[in-house]
Structures are given as C-alpha cells and as structure tokens.
Amino acid sequence: MSQKLFGTDGIRGAANIEPLTPGSVVNLGLAAAKILGNSDLFDRPKALVGRDTRASGEFLEAAITAGLASAGVDVMQSGVVPTPAVAYLTTRYQASFGIVLSASHNPFEDNGIKFFGPDGYKLSDNQESAIESAFYEKQFNSSGRVGRTRIMRDAVEEYVAFALTTVPKSFSLRGWKIAIDLANGAAFRTTPLALDRLGSDLAIQASEPDGVNINKECGSTHPEALSALVQNTGSALGIAHDGDADRLLFCDERGDPLDGDELLAIAAAHLVRRGDLRANTVVATIMSNFGLDALLHRLGGKVLRTAVGDRPVIETMVKNDLNLGGEQSGHLIFRDFVTTGDGLISALQILLIMDVTGKRLSELRAVLEKYPQEQRNIPVRGKLPFEQFPAIMKQLGSAEALLAGSGRVVLRYSGTEPKARLLLEGPDQGILKRLADDIQGEIEAALGS
C-alpha cells in the first residue's frame, strides 16, 4: 500500500484494490473520526456521507459508515447526490465533516473519497496528513458509545431548493429548449429538477445510471455527445456534467463547446460591468488560456494563477477574499454562493447572464480571444521525475527557447490518473503541434504504458 493516501483531490484509485477495500475504508472511517470528530469540539460528532452512481459506492458507503459509527460518530447518508450537495448539506446540518464517495470523471472501475470540513470547504493539507498518520499508525478512538445511522430522504430536494436561491425569484427559463447530458452520474435527478422548476423544455440524455455506465461516452468529458444532442433537438444551448457534477460543459446553439476559460471570461465580464467582481480579480490555474489575462487587463483587473486543481483555486480565493475562480476543465467557483465547484449553480449563473444580456452563448463567448494551445494527456506507467530523462528535458528546453517571450510550456503529472499532462501555448498552432509531438514522443519512449 502506498504511504500517501491523498492526491490532489482526495483519495482515488481502483475500487476494491488498496486502499479502497472494505477493511481499509473502515479504518479510514476510524481515522477520520479521530481527527475530524474531536469530542472537545462536538458533543456528538456527526458526519454526512454522499456518493455518486458507481456500483462500488454502495460497499464503500457501508464501510466508511461502519468505521465512523463504531467510533461514536452519527452518520447521515444522503445517498446519490452531487459533490457540491454534500458540501452544502454538511453546513446546513452543522455536521462535523462531510464525505463524498466519487471518482469524478474517471471510469466506473475507479472510486474515491473526498472530505469537507464543517464550513463546507475541502480539508487542508495538515488535516489530510493527520488522517493519513492515524490511518497508517492505527491510532483510532476507543469510544464508549456507538454512532447511529440515518438515511436522508430529502437531500435532493434540499440541494435543488438551495441552488434555486442563487438566482432571482423572477428568473424564468420558459420558452428555452435546453439539452442536458447528465453523465449517468450524481446529477441525474438534481439538474433536471432545477431546470424544470424554472420552466425550461428539456432534452435529456445519459440520465439512467446502472452502476457501470457513469461517464461512459457521455458527460462533460465527451463534448461530442452533448454537441450532437443540441443539434439534433434544436436546443438553445447544452449543459453537461461530469460524474459527480462539480464541473460542467456548455455548448452554444450551434453545438460548439465552451470550456471553463470561456465561462470564466463571460462571468468575469458580467460581474465587472455590475461592479460585483471583488478586487476586479479572477483566480485561475496555470493551465488557463492567457487570453483570460488579456481580457481582465482590458477590464482593469487581473488574474491570479495557482497550481492545478480546484482546491488551490479555492484556497487562493479565500486568502484574498475573491468571489470568482475556476479551471479550464469546467470547475467554476461562484464563492458568493458556494464553497466548492458546483456544476448546477455555475450553470444557473451563466443562464442568468444570458437572460440579463439577451445574448446567445455564441455571442457571449466572443469576449475571450484565446491564444492557440496544444494539450496532450499521455498515459504513463509511472510518475518518475521528468528531470531523470535527458531526452525529455532536451525537447522541453528546445520548446521553451522557441516560445520564449511569446508562449509557454507546462508539463506535469495528473493527480488523479496515470497520465502526463502537456500544455503548449503560443502564436502558431502548427508550431505548437510539432513541438508537442516531439515532447510526447520522448515521454512515451521513456515512460509510456
């Protein structure tokens, strides 16, 4: 077993393989109870547990609940709900902490475990390290009491009701034809319910989860599926989520996808015009297009850059008291309303902007002039330091020298998958493609799976 449980977004791996086995997950519940259910802070510690639609989520839910309850923690099971719903419900019910069982956009064979604190924010590195130490050293509480388990009957309804409070009561989508792709995931009930209550006419796909079809050729990682649905149904736009619905993808009325950078640009421009973008600043990761920086500069603002992942984005937003941030992948954080990426609430904010401005997405997206990018996701058999491979470093150096002053090169490992992520940005797409081919060739020769 690896000596590091947590990656960039909780614990993730193949279900039923260490550490995501029943025994280890029971022990993880015991460790979490010791660190997060401190009896000095809570008379009766309480945890809220939710999951996505993966078949493995059922036994993982049972295992984590067993560990928590045996350590004296009362457990509220929300069942299948989006990740951001767990963050919201944790605060609503004043739970000591929240737990999500999901592997987001990964295939159904994988699963994962994410934690939220009582404030609805993800745990700090120190808290995750403390859980790891307790887990590996088996430092568990010996409790004289046993926690009780309660199944929440209204979790979906309560989350949807909250989401609808983030738009004006007068806001209506009557007369709007909207295509939605629910990835056979955690949003299969919540997003249709919210949009239906606003009066929209829905064309729906990938809304029948069977435990193994989550993210399978659908959802936000398959824009071609949403694009086809928009075009085939004559919809005004399309919305797709990933498996746990903390991110989203939009397609405009022509079926052309918009990424997170374009959505951030639309939201930023709108908030600036209203005087509601705090410090005229947006938080984005190193992967976001530098056209975003140019836009904010024109608007009299700026972009703060972070490492990849929604947690670094949120931490920077909190530190600087900012209210808009996100990732190119479609994680958007409207911090006036939420503490984490929320696909439904982000969708509602973009729909509201469309309604207020009277513009279609194809018009709104024009606010961002993108710099050409070339991105590659390269499978690897191991995550050794790139510096150990002179041929890789030589190609990187050549690319950086050629793009110096007019572009950039970013190479990193995925925190959730066995892949190397390569990004090149510059003025000429053809040059970027050639450079990316050269670098990818050396990575595959040295580390290819």
Q: Is the pLDDT of residue 129 over 50?
A: yes
- pLDDT above 90 coverage of the chain, percent: 89
* CATH code of the domain in which 354 resides: 3.40.120.10
What is Dmax (Cα atoms) for the chain?
A: 67
pLDDT-based confidence at residue 142 (cuts at 50, 70, 90): low
Q: What is the mean pLDDT of residues 248-257?
A: 97
Q: Are residues 25 and 116 in the same domain?
A: yes
The reply to whether 62 falls in a domain is: yes
pTM of the model: 0.89
Terminal CA-to-CA distance of the chain, rounded, Å? 21
| Residue 280 shares a structural domain with residue 216 | no
Residue at 35 is within a domain: yes
Q: Which amino acid belongs to residue 54?
A: R
Q: Is 399 exposed, middle or buried (0-12, 13-18, 19+ CB in 10 A)?
A: buried
Is 163 within the bounds of a domain? no
pLDDT at res. 3: 56
Do the beta carbons of residue 293 and residue 265 sit within 8 Å? no
Whether 381 shows a pLDDT value over 70: the answer reads yes
pLDDT tens sequence across 303-328: 999 998 889 999 999 999 999 999 99
Contact 227, 255 (CB under 8 A): yes
The residue from 155, 188, 206 where one domain ends is 155
Residue 127 placed within a domain: yes
Annotated catalytic residue: which of 78, 102, 104, 207? 104
Same domain membership, residue 399 and residue 310 = no
| pLDDT tens string 210-241 | 999 999 999 999 999 999 999 999 999 999 99
How many whole angstroms separate alpha carbon 243 and alpha carbon 298? 36
Catalytic-residue membership of 104: yes
Number of H helices, E strands in the chain: 14, 18
Query: Tokens in use for 431?
Result: 């040059």
Q: Find the domain containing 299 and state its range.
A: 260-367
The residue with tokens 């909190």 is 318
Count of beta carbons in the 10 Å neighbourhood of residue 394: 13
DSSP state of 1: -
Domain count, the chain: 4
* Token code pair at residue 418: 């066995």
- In a domain, residue 196? The reply is yes
Same domain for 378 and 246, yes or no, is no
- Where is average pLDDT lowest: 35-44, 400-409, 436-445? 35-44
Are residue 199 and residue 144 in the same domain, yes or no?
Answer: no
Structural domain ending residue among the three candidates 367, 392, 413: 367
In a domain, 161, yes or no: no
Q: In which residue are the tokens 């700090």 written?
A: 124
Name the average pLDDT for the chain: 94
Q: How far apart are CA 291 and CA 288, in angstroms?
A: 8
- Tell me the CATH number at 386: 3.30.310.50
- The residue with tokens 């547990």 is 49
Q: Within a domain: residue 131?
A: yes
Question: 186: closest CA among 104, 256, 113?
Answer: 104
Nearest 5°: phi and psi at 380?
Answer: -130, 155
Query: pLDDT digit string (tens) for 382-439?
Result: 999 999 999 999 999 999 999 987 788 999 998 778 999 999 999 899 999 999 999 9
